[in-house]
Amino acid sequence: MSELSDLIPVEAIRLDVAAPDWQSAVRTAGDLLVSTDVSTDTYTEEMLRNVQENGPYIVIAPGFAFAHARPSPAVLRTGMSWVRLSTPVSFGHETNDPVHLVVALAAEDAGAHTQAMGALARLLADPDTSAALDRAPTPEALRQILVGDAAPESEPAPAPAPAPSGSTPERPASKGSGHGMHKILTVCGNGVGTSLFLKSTLDKVLDRWKWGRYITTEATDTISAKGKASEAVAIMTSREIARTLGDVGVPVRVIEDFTSTKEVDAAMRDLYDV
């Protein structure tokens, strides 16, 4: 598993960048991927097209856009870039605009960067660390924060129920997963970026609840999610992707801030009526 220190070199970090619009911000992040031999210009265009086709679902937390596209021949190796904007720009997101931070990911596959996604989610979820990243004066100083240990996020209270069980309108029944095991899908347009980010946050909540033995999680894309919905008890995703999915026969919970364990915790409590 790749770590943030492997994926974000100093050369892939730019601070206080002036960008007139979201396209320019994403293009700047893509240019850094190109200059560090992570991807080609074609991948940058694919990231832009992803937003144009699927909407601003990549704005996964207030002020934060996670730009990416599907793995393709335009990806030379897995890597990331970091662009902090001097003036925030609008992506058209209903709740998380304007954006002052764009992180771009180019992934060779859906699995190699899972650990890095978890680390990044923890860093951005911690208020003190997030503020330190916003104040970092140089790329070198910012990278030191990225590779260091973040303070733990304030934890919600443990779930009062010992395990998911039963079948009520608020508590979905297991669907063919055997031995009471439930599956929750986290979904994005491509299945390798924001869905993995949300999966990491959901896994952290399940670990706190000690429900990992009862619920499995899977990050996937919109097309695959429609076929996999019959195997799941619920889907968690962005508002834009929820609209794209429509009625898939299982509860769909919209998460506005993919870094927030508190929001995911609340969605789980609502889902399981605990």
Task: Just list the catalytic residues.
Answer: 68
Cβ contact 61:38 at 8 Å: no
Amino acid at 233: V
Residue 164 and residue 209 in contact, taking contact as beta carbons nearer than 8 Å: no
> Helices 194-209 and 114-125: crossing angle, nearest 10°?
70
Q: Are 116 and 68 in contact (CB under 8 A)?
A: no
- What kind and span of H or E run contains 61? strand 59-61
Give, in order, the Cα–Cα distances in Å from 78 to each of 30, 39, 192.
13, 8, 11
Dihedral angle of Cα 7, 192, 49, 44, to the nearest 10 degrees: 20
Residues with Cβ within 8 Å of residue 179, at least 6 apart in sequence = none
Closest C-alpha to 260, from 22, 95, 140, 112: 95
- Do residues 235 and 253 lie in contact, with contact meaning Cβ atoms separated by under 8 Å? yes
Pure H helices in the chain:
4-7, 22-35, 41-54, 114-125, 127-135, 139-147, 194-209, 222-228, 239-245, 261-272
